[in-house]
Amino acid sequence: MRFFRNILMLASAAVMLAAVSSCEEATEETTIVTYSASGNLSSSTDLGTPEPSIADYTEAIKSVLGGGYATEEMDADVIAACDAVYREHQEAISAGDVVAHGTVEIRKALGSTTSSSESYDYTVIKTYDYNK
């Protein structure tokens, strides 16, 4: 009887050790990368043409990321999408359909799933100038 009780205690200890090990593995840090557009862009049009806005950049970023954030850096893809938005805006400005002034910054912030901070440092990865 004592033999079975010792075996049962060893088995229980092994199960608890395995459970603690798996919990430690589950809390591995995952990098969270967010991209955003900000700035001071003012525009106007008399022809009913859509006005350039920072929201155009935000939508392009969301389409690249497939949502609000990524788990890896996607600078080149985000910049390519934002370059396309800038080209569209510049075509409308060159055609005389739109007047726009200001700048737009594309920012990247790195965080993690285990970080307790809600604010992350950001890096400007591209700036678009509308003051030409």
In a domain, 26, yes or no: no
In a domain, 9, yes or no: no
| Torsion sign, CA atoms 89, 94, 96, 100 | positive
Range of the domain at 58: 31-129
Total domains, the chain = 1
Rounded (5°) CA angle 31-84-56: 75
In a domain, 15, yes or no: no
Predicted TM-score (pTM) of this structure: 0.74
pLDDT over 70 (residue 87): yes
Which tens digit of pLDDT belongs to each residue from 29-83? 788 999 999 999 998 887 677 888 999 999 999 999 998 899 999 999 999 999 9
